[in-house]
A and B are shown apart, each in its own frame.
Chain A
Amino acid sequence: MTNYSEHSSDRRERGNAQSLGVLPSVESSLIRAHVFASLVAVVISALFGILVATKFTFPEFLGGHSWLTWGRLRYNHTQGIFFGWLGNAFLAFFYYAVPRLANRPVLSRKLGWLLFFIWNFTVVVPGWVLVLAGFSQPLEWAEFPLVVDAFVVLAFILMVFEFVLPFLKARLSDLYVSGWYLIGGIIFTMLAYPVGNFVPEMVPGARGAAFSGLWIHDAVGLFVTPFALAIAYYVIPTVTRRPIYSHFLSMVGFWVLFFIYPLNGTHHYVYSAIPMAAQKGAIVASAYLGMDVILVVTNLLLSLRGSSGTTSKDVPLRFVWFGVISYLVVSLQGSGQAFMPVNRFIHFTDWVIGHSHLAMIGFASFTALGGIAHMWQRIPGTRYHERMMNWSFWLLAMGLTLMITDLTIAGLVEAQVWETSAPWIDSVRAVGSYWLVRTLSGLPILAGFVLFWVSLVTGPRSSEAIASATIRPGAENDAAYDNAPEVSREILSTSWLSYAHVVAFGAGVGFFALSFLVLAILPGKELADEIKRVAPVTMATLTAPEQRGRVIYGREGCAYCHTQQIRFLAADVRRFGAPTEAWETKYDYPQLWGTRRIGPDLSREYNIRSRDWQLTHLYNPRFVVRDSVMPPYPWLFGGSANQPTQEALDLLAYLQSLGRARQLSGFEQQALVPSLQPAKSDMAMPREASARATPPSVPIAMTGGYSDSAPVLHPASNPGDLQEEVSRGETLFAANCASCHGATGGGDGKAAASLLPRPANLTAARFSDQRLSSVLWNGIVGSAMPPWRQLPTEDLRALVAYVDSLHLPAPAPAAQETASLEVGKALFAAACASCHGATGAGDGPAAAALAPPPTNFHLKKPTEQRAWEVLEDGVPGTAMPPWKSQLGEGERHALVAYVRSLYDTPQEGPKQ
């Protein structure tokens, strides 16, 4: 008598693999435990995701506490889906399927509970808590800290014993494709996981990225995909009660997947410093994979032929069908994305986020949900609410469809903006509404998961009804199962075929090893040689504060919005600077290249922005960039941007070190020597004139160096056109300038309190068009004022017109001023000319060493009050000292009159 629900004490079932007389036991209690753990995890993970998405629209939402910051929640969202949701769901399926597929029970119930404990209480829960507390690893799909990774590896070793050993005792010629996927997934993930999680900690930069790329893809290809396909191949024939279309095709699909998937990894780093051969290999493998997926999906859909009615009525099967269709779409999408003409456009955009959600929800989660619902109906004593399950399906399907459509369009919009010279923040503004829709689309998905859970604990007890419906005693039903052709004695007696699985398995492991050789070890060696050949011998490691800052950068998830990987593409170079070379990353343990850009690339941050700007930006990004969606980091400060903690200073030190080695190395000069240039002739190199217009070691759009040839932008002379320009300039000013200069240009924006020198009070001086144009074009060195030359000329002209309008016309100078001008001129020559120049053109002997440079009074006319204040108090944050104690009141009045008189008069010497 078979005891279906309890572990059998009858050991005879282990002895004879061919005996069909005694059924192996099924660990129903472990199935239930893992199903509930998976549902708890998916709801929590989806909540993490919704919080993360909400923060794109409301960056301050829950932004005051480190435990709830974007980066940490983002880590937990993906790791929760991976380990908590899918891991538990797959484990539940293993306990259901292994006894059926191997005709053996799993190894041990006690081992099963140990595995359950390890998976959930040494991996999922501690992983979440540690990440929220700030202990993590900044690598895609490897975010849990190393101590957790050790338990993951242990869990996979235990899985081998629990689930793979029963198959080894079974007759391999009976092994159904789901069993193959199950065995392959466990063993290859056990091999790949340490490589993806531990190796990048030991192999730096570009070389480590090659390994990370492998794991990013292996996580999907060797863990998610095999187990999801195992479920699909299981559920479809058992629901339709017909064998799959072709087991041969299913096995071809299986082996091609395991041969090819590991070779895909480097397609996450196309156009990077990783050797071209590895990139090409990954692209070719991606194309092969697309063909394999077509084969697999065709086989699965042919297995459903004539069962459209069943597919629409049976909700679990419908979940699986949706998963299979998503698998086809997402895989072909993935293959297409690997091709260089597509990759250069959509990589780093929300398109890829849509792609990954389609993979993890559309394919993996739908299939897992179908698998859970299918087996749940067949476990004694469980409840099953079909109508609620149906609602769950539609909520999930509608939410996901909306999300994918939205993110795909958002990605195309971002890509389009990135191809232009528009400021980075324009791409953020352009997709703001899409991010809101994405957040809203997460709500039906969350509701769908909750309803799914509810459907498993309400409704009638299901297994009895299902058993009745499934079995249908009678000749017709039995015939459906018993019409299998006998396996030929001829082939069973063919000795080499009896070892075919062993040979094939060895080939699989061989290909797996080959993938590491081809995509990681060989490129790594090539990179090591290149680094040795071209890296400056003087290249310094990070200082202790910079190294601590790097850890904070990783902990807060900065790499998930900011790449440190400028690709060998003109658009990248034009926007961010010289492409990232492998040698620049030789001390990066682990690499922080990133795979996504919500904010700009930070590879060339050295000398780009002032210290004050950086700290203010970290304290609250919207203080300096009104429409930024970056999270604030107030816990790194003591209450204001002026009170950075040591952690904030460390992070600042790290940010300001990025690109330093490149700038100090003189590498650009070396790179002009053809023999030293990396052989990437077939890539879109930044040798285009536009990319080489200025030295590319710094972002051209951000600095480009001081340019004397800045165009002088004169506002329109026609009053009507001028008014239109002023109006347009006001809008631009509010969007780009008001956070520092204040809404009315008074220099009192949110950021003003923490910036030195303070943002200019634009109402307190009259600026010439030449001065305004120069500042907009070049920024002001030594201040937080960045260049804005990436804005269209029309916008810059509108800003000039608007700032002009902020200054009220001054009354004509009083007659008595004329007399004091001579006094002022003498005082100016004695006290001011060393900096401001003999003629007041800001070109004194000391000027070259001052940042920000001294004012050119021919181009700027301060109001009397402002000039007086400056003489009284100096200008904090600049070299301008107070003169109150050195000059009498009359002398200061004379100086005020004199410097104001210089405006718009001919000047000598270089312009400022």
Chain B
Amino acid sequence: MINLIVIVISAIMFGLVLVWWRWPAFRSWIEAPKYFMLRQEHRFDVAAFRTRPDANPGEPQ
């Protein structure tokens, strides 16, 4: 049973690495969330900036 688990986990990891290496589109797909997350954070920061009493409604863009 333990051997089976080790083999399965190793196979899954190997498969993931193989997909990542052979399929560039997968790379951009799997990496997309880290940019989305930053964009989201930026949007919230901008919103927070705009709520400042002295904030210029036109800034930032």
| Chain A residues in the interface with B (C-beta under 8 A) | 2, 4-5, 20, 23, 26, 100-101, 103, 173-179, 234, 237-238, 241-244, 246-248, 250-252, 255-256, 259-260, 263, 277, 280-281, 284-285, 288, 378, 380, 463-464, 467-468, 470-474, 477-478, 480-488, 490-492, 497, 507, 514, 518, 522
Asked if A473 meets B60 with Cβ closer than 8 Å, knowing A174-B33, A237-B34, A247-B34, the reply is yes
Contact of A247 among B9, B16, B33, B61 (CB under 8 A): B33
Q: Which of A247, A468, A472, A522 has the most CB of B within 10 A?
A: A247
Is there an interface contact between A378 and B13, defined as CB atoms closer than 8 Å? no
A residues within 8 A CB of B48? 4, 378, 380, 463, 467
Is there an interface contact between B9 and A484, defined as CB atoms closer than 8 Å? no
Asked if A101 meets B40 with Cβ closer than 8 Å, knowing A256-B9, A514-B5, the reply is yes
CA distance A2 to B43 in the complex (A): 11
Is there an interface contact between B1 and A243, defined as CB atoms closer than 8 Å? no
Distance in angstroms from B45 CB to nearest chain A CB is 5
CA distance A176 to B31 in the complex (A): 9
CA distance A445 to B28 in the complex (A): 44
| Cβ-closest chain A residue relative to B1 | A518
Between A and B, 23 residue pairs with Cβ closer than 8 Å are: A2-B50, A20-B39, A23-B44, A100-B41, A100-B44, A103-B40, A173-B32, A176-B36, A177-B34, A242-B38, A247-B31, A248-B16, A248-B31, A250-B34, A256-B9, A259-B12, A263-B5, A281-B2, A284-B5, A471-B49, A473-B60, A478-B42, A486-B28
| Cβ-closest chain B residue relative to A177 | B33
CA distance A251 to B52 in the complex (A): 37
CA distance A288 to B40 in the complex (A): 34
Distance in angstroms from B41 CB to nearest chain A CB is 5
Could you list 15 further interchain pairs (A-B, Cβ under 8 angstroms) beyond the known A252-B16, A288-B6?
Answer: A23-B43, A176-B34, A246-B31, A247-B33, A248-B16, A248-B27, A251-B30, A259-B9, A284-B2, A467-B52, A468-B49, A485-B28, A487-B28, A488-B28, A488-B29
A residues within 8 A CB of B42? 471, 477-478, 481
CA distance A234 to B36 in the complex (A): 12
B residues within 8 A CB of A478? 42, 61
CA distance A332 to B25 in the complex (A): 34
B residues within 8 A CB of A474? 60
Is there an interface contact between B1 and A522, defined as CB atoms closer than 8 Å? yes
CA distance A414 to B18 in the complex (A): 48
Residues 1-29 of B, flagged 1 when their CB comes within 8 A of A and 0 if not, give 11001100100110010001001111111
Distance in angstroms from B29 CB to nearest chain A CB is 4
| Cβ-closest chain B residue relative to A175 | B33
| Cβ-closest chain B residue relative to A263 | B5
Is there an interface contact between A2 and B35, defined as CB atoms closer than 8 Å? no
A residues within 8 A CB of B36? 174, 176, 484
Give the interface SS of chain B, mostly helix, strand, loop or mixed.
helix
B side interface size, CB within 8 A: 42
A residues within 8 A CB of B6? 284, 288
Is there an interface contact between B45 and A470, defined as CB atoms closer than 8 Å? yes
CA distance A16 to B25 in the complex (A): 25
A residues within 8 A CB of B26? 491, 497
Report the 5 A-B pairs with minimum CB-CB distance, sorted nearest first. A473-B60, A484-B35, A488-B25, A176-B37, A243-B34
Distance in angstroms from A261 CB to nearest chain B CB is 12
Distance in angstroms from B20 CB to nearest chain A CB is 6
| Cβ-closest chain B residue relative to A483 | B35
| Cβ-closest chain B residue relative to A473 | B60
Is there an interface contact between A174 and B32, defined as CB atoms closer than 8 Å? yes
Distance in angstroms from B10 CB to nearest chain A CB is 9
| Cβ-closest chain A residue relative to B56 | A473
Distance in angstroms from A547 CB to nearest chain B CB is 37
Is there an interface contact between A100 and B37, defined as CB atoms closer than 8 Å? yes
Is there an interface contact between A485 and B31, defined as CB atoms closer than 8 Å? yes
Asked if A497 meets B29 with Cβ closer than 8 Å, knowing A280-B2, A481-B39, A484-B35, the reply is yes
CA distance A800 to B21 in the complex (A): 77
Is there an interface contact between B29 and A237, defined as CB atoms closer than 8 Å? no
Distance in angstroms from B22 CB to nearest chain A CB is 13
Asked if A241 meets B38 with Cβ closer than 8 Å, knowing A252-B13, A488-B25, the reply is yes
B residues within 8 A CB of A380? 48, 51
B residues within 8 A CB of A241? 38
Is there an interface contact between B28 and A471, defined as CB atoms closer than 8 Å? no
| Cβ-closest chain A residue relative to B26 | A491
CA distance A177 to B27 in the complex (A): 15
Distance in angstroms from A821 CB to nearest chain B CB is 78
Is there an interface contact between B40 and A260, defined as CB atoms closer than 8 Å? no
Is there an interface contact between A487 and B45, defined as CB atoms closer than 8 Å? no
Contact of B37 among A178, A280, A483, A488 (CB under 8 A): A178
CA distance A473 to B32 in the complex (A): 24
CA distance A463 to B51 in the complex (A): 10
| Cβ-closest chain B residue relative to A482 | B39
B residues within 8 A CB of A177? 33-34
Is there an interface contact between A176 and B33, defined as CB atoms closer than 8 Å? yes
Distance in angstroms from A792 CB to nearest chain B CB is 44
Contact of A237 among B2, B23, B38, B60 (CB under 8 A): B38
Is there an interface contact between B25 and A491, defined as CB atoms closer than 8 Å? yes
B residues within 8 A CB of A492? 29
Is there an interface contact between A237 and B37, defined as CB atoms closer than 8 Å? yes
| Cβ-closest chain A residue relative to B36 | A174
CA distance A898 to B30 in the complex (A): 98
| Cβ-closest chain B residue relative to A260 | B9
CA distance A474 to B39 in the complex (A): 15
Contact of A244 among B9, B13, B34, B60 (CB under 8 A): B34
| Cβ-closest chain B residue relative to A474 | B60
Contact of A518 among B5, B13, B25, B40 (CB under 8 A): B5
CA distance A709 to B15 in the complex (A): 68
CA distance A587 to B33 in the complex (A): 52
| Cβ-closest chain A residue relative to B38 | A481
CA distance A285 to B43 in the complex (A): 41
A residues within 8 A CB of B2? 277, 280-281, 284, 518
Is there an interface contact between B43 and A20, defined as CB atoms closer than 8 Å? yes
Is there an interface contact between A473 and B44, defined as CB atoms closer than 8 Å? no
Distance in angstroms from A240 CB to nearest chain B CB is 10
CA distance A488 to B35 in the complex (A): 14
Is there an interface contact between A471 and B60, defined as CB atoms closer than 8 Å? yes
| Cβ-closest chain B residue relative to A180 | B33
A residues within 8 A CB of B30? 247-248, 251
